[in-house]
Amino acid sequence: MSGGGPARSRELRKQGKETLRRLLEAAIVVFDERGYSGARIDDIVKEANTSHGTFYLYFANKEDLFQALVSGVTDQMHDLAESLPSIKASKEGFDELREWLGRFYDLYDHYHPVIRAWTDINTQNSDMARTGAVVLRRFTDQLVRRVREIHPPPVSDPETAALAMVSMIERATFYAVVRLVPVDRDALLDNLATILHVGLFAGSRRRRPPGPRR
């Protein structure tokens, strides 16, 4: 996690990094409870159990803090996109794809208040919208690269198929994380992995065994 303008002007020691982490994590909690517009610096410092003076050692204002959070999410999303391995049509390929989707889910679960605010701001802030488009492009490009490794190609237009799949992954995860639909993590990952594995990587459909998954 990176700090805002004031924090970037100096080298942070261990205690400073811990204070920075607490402020960023507190902001995520407050954004979840109040939304970005309703969140106040006073709420954030109370949640972080620190002071206004300490806040301004790391961030110029709430917008500066939010930009730092978006930067952190962007970096982690980039690393996740680049980590998608080559996917085989075998059960091993299915398991690797499901594990990758699980990491996407967990990252989204932690940062969803930031991502939700980011989505809302996109309509008013062209820079934020461009950043979001870059993240989407990275996921799509990596998926296209992996699909093109399959011979013969399972789809005639990998770019369009990858865009549709990435959009599905993001929206389905959002609905599950914010509880707009009654689906648990394992059920979502099983279904997403099956759809992607069969649709993009020529895998065979695998039925989930009866009983709870551990």
Say how far apart CA 75 and CA 70 lie, in whole Å.
Answer: 9
Say how far apart CA 16 and CA 44 lie, in whole Å.
Answer: 17
Q: Which residues contact 97 (CB under 8 A, 6 or more apart)?
A: 87, 193, 196, 197, 201
Task: Please state the pTM of the whole predicted model.
Answer: 0.85
Reported confidence tier of residue 123, pLDDT bands at 50, 70, 90:
low
Give tens-digit pLDDT for 54-67.
999 999 999 999 98
Q: What percentage of the chain has pLDDT greater than the value 70?
A: 88
Set out the domains of the chain in order of their start, with CATH numbers: 1-60 (1.10.10.60), 62-207 (1.10.357.10)
Mean pLDDT rounded to a whole number for the chain: 87
**Tokens representing 185?**
């993590």
Helix, strand, coil percentages, rounded to 5, for the chain: 70, 0, 30
Reported confidence tier of residue 214, pLDDT bands at 50, 70, 90:
very low
